[in-house]
Amino acid sequence: MKLLTATLFAATALVATNAMANADLAKKSNCLSCHAVDKKLVGPSYQDIAKKYAGQKDAEAMLFEKVKKGGKGTWGAIPMPPNANVKDDDIKTLVKWVLAGAK
């Protein structure tokens, strides 16, 4: 059990610090079927999102809600559907990663 806890902790630390892991999480969570890091697909590029909200300290909480529940009208007419199957912790990680420029 101790070993399992240690392993889980190590894995969490890796996800928090490792950019590749974040990109993998975005892929696994289906975000990358509509978003790319540096160009517009169905949704805005993650770099454009990072630019738009640079310096806004409430952006993280607002975007968390938007990714979880979906929404439209900020970037155009196409809505983002709710990402109800993605875990809250994963959404938080993804929003932080996007706001940091998806690097």
Chain centroid, CA 62 distance in Å: 12
Residues that bind ligand HEC in the complex, under the rule CB under 6 A: 29-31, 33-35, 42-44, 49, 63, 66-67, 71-76, 78-81, 83, 86, 94-95, 98
Residue whose CB is less far from ligand HEC, 36 or 95? 95
Residue whose CB is less far from ligand HEC, 36 or 86? 86
CB of 1 to ligand HEC, least distance (A): 32
Give the residue carrying structure tokens 């610090």: 17
DSSP string, 34-88: T--SSS-SSS--HHHHHHHTTT-TTHHHHHHHHHHH-B-SSSSSPPBPP-TTS-H
Residue whose CB is less far from ligand HEC, 6 or 70? 70
CB of 3 to ligand HEC, least distance (A): 31
CB of 31 to ligand HEC, least distance (A): 3
Contact residues for 23 (Cβ-Cβ < 8 A; gap 6+): 32, 37, 102
